[in-house]
Structure 1
Amino acid sequence: MMNDKFTNEPNKMDEWLSQIAESAAPNAQFATELERTLRLAHSERSAPGWFRFTRRQTVAALAWTVSLIAFALFMNWAIRMVAPTPTEIPASNETSAPTATALPNATHEAQATLTPDAVGYEWRDTILYLSQPMPRSPAEAKVYLKKFTGQATPEDVLALAQRFGINGEIQHVPSEFPGRTDYIVSGDRRQKLEVRADYYFVYHSNFEELYLDNLSDERARSVADNFLKQHGFDFEYKFERAPEMSGMQFYITPLILGEYAVHFDYMNPWRYEITLDNTGENIIFIGYALEFEELGNFGIITVEEAFQKILDQNPQTGLMEIFNGRGGGGGGSSFLKININETPVVFPSPTPPTIVETPRVEYDPAFTMPTATIESIELAYYVRYPPYVLADPSAGIQYLQPVWRFYGHYSNGDEFEILVQALKEEYLLPEPAPYTPPG
């Protein structure tokens, strides 16, 4: 019944509620406290939200901030440790990086550029590395005239036999060189000397008598040194055991001025082989009978200039190259004739290379050019290989001349050698020296 009354008379309900509200008179103290509470609540809501952190929230925020700063400092240190530090390239006479050198046949654009690590050099579509610094460059070096440049004569053979104490008769035998003659001289006590037409000899102190021993290096050197002095081979030398040979075979490498080795064409050093036993009496001695006459001191280029010739992209004169590997070998030479007794000849001005448009060559994507590393750099001497001289009618005078020798390996294991003529241009002729290609 009451529900029907409220529903059917809404106006009377409004009047009744208004009367109740107006008649309500709250306590004055309660009203004051309520007003203050509402005012404070309104002030907190109107303040910015980031001011309403509790102490716990504030401590957490500070901890996160410190952590982020520490992480940033760690990342900065790590990046400095990983990133490469720029390296200043020192002077060319102190490191493996040569300075730009003005050469007769070189242009500034043609010189190789350094890779970012200042160790490798752009070279023939690959990278050339140096594993050691450049050696010291003397201002001059001696030049020698080679004796015995033609066919070995009976007189020369007998003179060599007498050095070994052989006084027997000389025999003429067919030579492995067409149209030439080899020789054999036999003596008492089973001594024997065989000499080829190009002065290559084999000496037996006691033919067919040799005990199989394994000598120590000290004992072998003592026996070899006594043998050399006894038979007039008075030169300074390097003594070493022959690798991959029996324990009785050793190499004796003569050193010019006690320091510089001599090299023939195609990685062939001038050296003697000696086979001996503990008795010190049974010896086999093999090598080329070479003699030289000193002609004087002459100016040479620096090792840095020689290296720039190797790096130059334009064809250069005065280089001899050879490589050898599992797939075979090859090489070439642009050595010039020597001119030390005549008036210096003016070389023609270098001609800028002609740019020829060629079709682009597409390489197998799987193929990668091997890099090259120079492992040894030295001032040495070069003389043409005696068999080549004997076979070349235009060989002419033969000199023992200074060269800068660069030796190393490709990353695929192949070895290479580059000889650079060291004599300055004023002691050369603008004409290619006689040369015998490999093979």
Structure 2
Amino acid sequence: MARRQRTLQPTRCLNMTAQARRPRLAYVTTHAISAENLMNGQLAFLRERGFDITVIAAPSESLDVVREREHVATIPIPIEREISLAADARTLVKLCGILRQLQPDIVNAGTPKAGLLGMIAAKLTGVPVRFYTLRGLRLETTSGFKQRLLSATERIAASCAHQVICVGDSLRQEFVRRKLVAAEKTIVLRHGSSNGVNAERFQYSAEQFAQIEQLRTSLGIPPDVPVIGFVGRLTRDKGIVDLHEAFARLLGEFPELRLVLIGWPEAGDPVPSDVWQSIQSHPQIIRTGAIQDVSLYYGLFDVFVFPSYREGFPNVPLEAAAAGVPVVGYSATGTLDAVLDGITGTLAPLQNPAALAADTAKYLRDPWLRRRHGEAGRRRALMDFRREDLWQSLAGLYEQWLIRCGLPLPISSVEQTVPLRKAA
């Protein structure tokens, strides 16, 4: 893809009054857990860069965490994840009122519901710069009326935005292929992802290696027993049914194999009851529940298996790569960008548990292949997905639009940033 260098060429003179204040930036998301996990450090960086930031989301503990950790303003507002015409109309009215009061220079809205309502409200209230951040396409795993409805909401959100920030190339291509947006309206920052990866967390010290061994013992995993792992929601969309079948196939060749599942089920997309009962009762499947800091757990895994059916740009394969663990996944939107097939891992055909098992078995048989692909993944995570580089590119994009619209630049703005990357 072509790269576009950031240019800072003022198109109009700004008066001193405009320059005297910090540009106001509002983020709208359905649930603040998106901001807690996918904007960790990013909001503080932009605040220190000179932006006045407000996060608008449904009330939750996550919203409180974001406010305290990032030192930004937050506004709780009821936003339903599922479609509810009456509730959505009330939320839209409230959003319009909030935006009229805040008078932001930039609104960045993400997640399907907040993206739709946030972009409509921003357009109705005349926000000068509007971004829709696309982190995935829920419609990919739906059909019929629901898929048509979700397509319509995506098209409306994109039409209200000045630019659509896609978190990965394959996601951008799918969005354009479905005719939900014009290609020239989309952009991918650097190599993609929502927030990059803090790779240093996965560069284990001798003390941390000792902690990993203690963790192994506490989970009842004997020494030298192979381990495959998964991190994420334990749902159909994440491929848990396929992972369960692949694990059963692998036990024929690797009878001591352990599967570690780190995550939680969701009522909205449950796995079949017989599969869930098998997962709960199997002595070699270890369920940890949700873990606040999973960094040491990656040190347990010989292979990270990620059979998700759809993604925007998944973070956990990047974390596994940063820990030097090869990744086996499906050739799904988003995963295509996170895993370099044959270099940092292997991608199997979508919804093919037999191929998933066969590709995982290759790594379990071959320590040299595991090490080679694991080291390649670590190098890529360190070189291409540094969080600070992505944050710099995002700040640069905001500043370009502020200049274009004759709005004040951040007071602490610097002249050099990491180049942006535009997908045409």
Structure 1 length normalisation: TM-score?
0.22
Question: Greater helix share, 1 or 2?
Answer: 2
Larger radius of gyration: 1
Structure 2 length normalisation: TM-score?
0.23
Question: Greater strand share, 1 or 2?
Answer: 1
